[in-house]
Every structure is written in C-alpha cells, then in structure tokens.
A and B are shown apart, each in its own frame.
Chain A
Amino acid sequence: MSAHGKPYVREVSRYRWFLRSPRYMRYMVREVTCVFIALHALVLLVGLKRLSEGREAWETFLDNLTAPFGVQLQLLILAFAIYHSMSWFNVTPKAMPVQIGEKFLPGAVIIGAHYAGWFIVSIALLFLAGVF
C-alpha cells in the first residue's frame, strides 16, 4: 500500500448510486418491473381464492376484473410485464451462447428463438382459454 500518506476512499451512496448513469437506471427499471409480474401473480391467487369460495365470490371477482379499474390495472401490468420479459430476452445471448464448430450463433437468433417460444406458448394458452 502507501508509504506516502493514506489513500483517499470515495464513498458510494447506498441509495443514490443508480442516478450516476443511464445504464444503471435501465438496470433498475428492468429489476423494478418484476413487481408487476408479482402483482399479476397476486391477481391470479386472489382469483383462485374467490373460486374456492363459491360462485358468487367468483362472479364478483370477474366483475371487478372487467370494471374500468380492473382493465386499467391489467393493461398496466401487461405493459410492464412485456417490458420486463423483453429486457431479459434481449440479454439471453450473453448467458447462453451457442457455439457451432468455430462460429457462434448470432445473438439475434437466440433472442428470436425466445420470442418464438413466447409466441407459441401464448397462442397455445389463448387456444386453451377458448379465444379461438
């Protein structure tokens, strides 16, 4: 270490560090939007509980979901859930590189495969839900 005086240590703020750079802000948005995924899970859990309580409770729950506030809440959750999922899909090539011989599969292919999987699962779910 130093033979000529004490080195100076700059403290990093525990609460404001992410304001230092736009890339930290992007990271925080990606992380914080997971709250909306949890919110969606909560809506589903409440729905299950209401279902177990009988027909009347279930229908009140459905009425609440289709009321303007319920629709707005779900649209909000959907928007943030999409953002959250996309932000993770877009970093998958880093975590899961695919090497074929001496070449790596382009990142766009790996990201594209995730979107394709997402699309197929969504269509299957909508089909099971009787939308088609």
Chain B
Amino acid sequence: MSERIVELEVLRFNPETDAEPRFQRYSVPCMNEWVVLDALNHVKETMDPTLSYRWSCHMAVCGSCGMMINGEPKLACKAFLREYDGVIRVEPLAHFPIQRDLVTVIDDFVTKLKRVKPYLIPKQDQPVEAGEFKQSPAELKKYKQYTLCINCMLCYAACPEYGLVPKFIGPAAISLAHRYNEDSRDGGREQRQQEIASNEGVWECSFVGACSEVCPEHVDPAGALQQVKIKSTVDWYQEHLLPGSKK
C-alpha cells in the first residue's frame, strides 16, 4: 500500500453565507488504492467536518455520490485516484442547482421520474390466486439492461440538452419508461407515451450520446431514446395513414 498526497480542489457553497460558490484546496494523504470518495471522507473526518456531500454504499449501487470529477460526471466511489494526475477538481453534478457544497437539489429529476410511471402497469388486473405473470428469458433480455439504472443522474449532468432546456424529461427517466414499455407483462405504454413522446420527451433529445458514455452501469439511455423515437414515429404514421388501425 503506497501513500501519496493528493491535491483536491473542491467546490464549496454555503447558501446561508455565500453569494456564489468558490473552490477550496485540500492536500490529502491518500492510499494509492483509494477512490475520490475515500479522499472526501478523509477530509471530512480529519480536516474539515463542514464539507457536505452525499454517499451511501461505496460500491456503485446506490447512485448517491455522483459528482463532476475533473469536469466529467462520475460516481466518486468508482473514480480511482490512481487514474488522475495533478490536482483533482471535484464539483457538484452539472445542470442541478447546488444545495450546499457537493450536494445538489434533485427534485426536478424525482418529479420527472414519477411522471413517466416507472412501474409495471399490468394489461389486465388479475387476482393473486391466478398466479404470477410469466415471462420467457428472451422477453426478459429485451429490457434487462435498462433495469440496471441506479438513478445516479450522471446522464443528466452529461446531457447538454438538459443543461440548455431543463424541461427535457431526460435520459434516465425516459429509459426507465422504455424499460417498462418493453416488458411483455406491461400494458401501460399509452399512459407513458403522453409524457415521453412529447416535445419535452424524446423529441428534445438530439442524440449527443453523452448519457450512454458516462453511465456507470453501462445502461444505454441514448439507445433507449432513439428506440422510443422510432416507435413513436411508427405510431404517428399508423394513426394518420392507416385509419382504424389504432384507437
């Protein structure tokens, strides 16, 4: 285990006293095996207890510790110090308001997530006695990758469209809507389409693809959004050119 001094430049903001954020430098003695989150924990425990940030699991599952590390959206628990030279700049996730230090206000994402109904809406209600809704491995495979989303919001921080047009429902929420639309047991697509096939939905996406590049769970939100676009276009043609084929 080798040790080195890592220079951390952390964005600080106290809403009670500061008009705008500023950077604070910490020289942190770190083990080579540490991740950025370990360095932040070391700062908080031994140097500056006022530093605020979110974290929980320390193993890329909870999605709490998303932040900008050298300008790139990353999970702090997955950003190994050995991959960085020189000063490491740590900022709150881009495109979200800063609550305090590295903590952002995520209400916008949570509201959008609720809007797209990211849960199973069965085609027909059936009593528990009727048994489970069965699904083949191939049907599961169709949407499985989208179930890996941990709601870390790195994709929102990477998406320039969301930064410029905040009403955009955004990558993760639409991908999760797509996940349920693709589920053979689900019958809620029409309800979700009202949200995701709108101007604030997929049509705000211009396919930069940054969301998929930064996703720590290798979900492909950019792919999901393009697939929703294609399916919504097919819907439109069916509705307008083939009267009677849809309701």
Contacts and interface: CB of A to CB of B under 8 A. Distances in A.
A24 B208 contact: yes
A101 B209 CA distance: 27
Nearest to A20: B71
Given A8-B20, A17-B164, A2 B142 contact: no
A2 B15 contact: yes
B26 interface: no
Interface string A73-102: 000000000000000000101111101011
A90 B98 CA distance: 37
Given A1-B105, A8-B21, A20-B71, A14 B164 contact: yes
B138 interface: yes
A131 interface: no
Interface residues of B, number: 38
Contacts of B21: 8
Interface in B76-105: 94-95, 97-100, 105
B207 interface: yes
B220 A1 contact: no
Interface string A7-43: 1111010100110110110010001000000000000
Contacts of B142: 99
A10 B94 contact: yes
Contacts, number: 86
A5 interface: yes
Given A7-B99, A18-B160, A94 B212 contact: yes
Grouping DSSP codes into helix (H, G, I), strand (E, B) and loop, the A interface class, with mixed when no group exceeds half, is loop
B220 A94 contact: yes
B16 A94 contact: no
A97 B146 CA distance: 14
Interface residues of A, number: 30
B242 to A, nearest CB: 22
Contacts of A96: 227, 230
A63 to B, nearest CB: 41
A19 B138 CA distance: 42
B208 A95 contact: no
Contacts of A7: 15, 97-99, 105
A97 B227 CA distance: 9
8 contacts: A7-B15, A9-B97, A10-B95, A20-B71, A21-B71, A31-B206, A91-B209, A97-B223
